[in-house]
Amino acid sequence: MTRHTASLVITGHDLDFRDMAKAAAGKLPVSLAPQAFAAIAASRGIVETILKENRPAYGITTGVGSQKDFAVDPASAAAYNARLVAAHATRVPGPTLPPEAVRGAMIFLANQFANGLSGVSPELVELLVAAINGDKMPEIDGSGSVGASDLVPNAQLAHWLLNRPEAKKLGLPRPKETLSLINNNAISLAQGAMALASAERLLAAFDLAAAAALEGFRGNLGSISEAANRAHKREGQRRAAQRLRHFLSDSRLWNKGEPRLLQDPLSFRCVSQVHGAAAEVFAETAKVWNSELNSVNDNPIIDRETADAVSNGNMDTTRLTLAADHLRQALGKMCDLAGERVHKQQWPAFTGLPTGLAEEGGAVGGVQFLNLGHITASLVTSVKIWARPSLLNSVGQVADGVEDTASHALHAVHDLMRVIDAGWKIAGLELMIAVWAMKRRRLGTADLGRGIRPAVESLSDMLPIGREGDAIFDIAPLIAELQSGALLDRALTESREKVDLSLD
């Protein structure tokens, strides 16, 4: 794991999705705040008392799920916990989680345990933190959750953790610890946090692509003017329009007579409205995610005031799924508009340029010759499929009807990740087609907005303008150039902008 002077100190109360994503990627070492260990030890003491008194307590002196009414002898509770983790870790064929998702899940677990409400031992938390800072992550299946705790992938993670030599030396797992490791939404929360970190940058990339499209189309910038936005009290729209203006600052397009049309198609004219709405949805989703990252969704919790175990439904993921569903739809609308602008930039009736941005009218050349519009349309179609809400999908009667509702958070998050991945490709395609249009209009660098210039300088030589069909055109390097960060960061810096829209 790469070491830096900065670190992520886990307190249980102030974990942010951005820091979690960085630490999950191995860019920040992780430690637990020393004061957290007192709360952890106190709740562990209550669990030991429950065991000593053999009090009925879900998952401590009883079975779990539909087997909750069967007692577990405290004398065999440790052995029961070892069997419980192996039993729940059933392997599922299919994609496995990337290492950063596994590390992120453990970061959430450490943050949850730092609240001192789970009843795990300090030794388990120390083992967890050591594993977070390690280089090797286990292979965990990416499916098996219905959104009422990520039971199956969590159990596979717990099985790996508890079978490390250090765990064996410490006598782990102890009673209640297996249940605390598996009965939570760690995988959904971790993958969602990383998706949000990517989505925040994607929103900026979509703004850059739309600004470039306005530049290449010679659009009417009245639609993003302060006058237009003063007419509405939409904070997201105001801020999105401001960022678009910043990207286009010093552009010749601001001069009178430069815009070609009195009124552009809606996909150009409504950029700030749609992007602004998406920015507002993103801000709300981030707020929900940070709240959940710092909440305890263990069951049961250990209440130190009553010195008892309290059964609850805090593992329910309705809130997470609603947030992810909402964000997918907002991003889907952005992708839809970007797709429309891609088509309009190739359409002679709208652009005044040859078909498909060819050098001149003919059977050869331009972006249409490369099927870039078809590729974009295919991606937009996929996004619309993945953007459909997950919350109300039926789950059936799980665990003999005891678990009769679930909220599909992991499904919602996985579809969010798919939408974001496609979104980067769509934004990249719009950006490269906009650059192509600028080249066809013979616009010089000095004619362009300050934020647009880095894109033109970075992408121009990567586009096969005038060489269409000489070789297969691979768009992957251009998408990677946008997604890797340097191009986007340079565009933001040149326009005195930043990734975060800061709507507050």
Q: List pLDDT tens digits, range 405-441.
A: 778 999 999 999 999 999 999 999 999 999 999 999 9
Residue 305's Cβ-side half-sphere holds a number of Cα atoms within 13 Å equal to: 1
Q: How many residues does the chain have?
A: 504
Per-residue DSSP letter, 471: B
Distance of CA 378 to the CA centre of its chain: 22
Encoded tokens for 99: 């290492």
List, as one string, the DSSP characters of 369-408: GGTHHHHHHHHHHHHHHHTS--TTS----BTTTTB-----
pLDDT (tens digit per residue) in 342-388 = 999 999 999 999 999 999 888 889 998 999 999 999 999 999 999 99
Q: How confident is the model at residue 70 (pLDDT cuts 50, 70, 90)?
A: confident
301-303 and 30-32 as β-strands: parallel, antiparallel, unpaired? unpaired
Residue 1's pLDDT is 35
Beta strand extents in 448-488 (DSSP E only):
none
Cα–Cα dist 140/133, whole Å: 18
Average pLDDT over residues 96-100: 97
Residues 140-167 have a mean pLDDT of: 93
Going by C-alpha positions, the residue among 500, 413, 418 that lies closest to residue 193 is 413
| DSSP code, position 212 | H
The pair of structure tokens assigned to 489 is: 């960061």
316: helix, coil or strand?
A: strand
Average pLDDT, the chain: 93
User: What is the mean predicted confidence (pLDDT) over 385-393?
Assistant: 93
Tokens of 44: 């562990």
Write the DSSP symbol of residue 251: -
What average pLDDT does range 139-149 have in this prediction? 90
pLDDT: which is higher, 501 or 171: 171
Q: pLDDT-based confidence at 402, cuts 50/70/90?
A: low
Question: By mean pLDDT, which of 72-81, 212-221, 380-389, 481-490 is the weakest?
Answer: 72-81
Over residues 81-101, the mean pLDDT reads 93
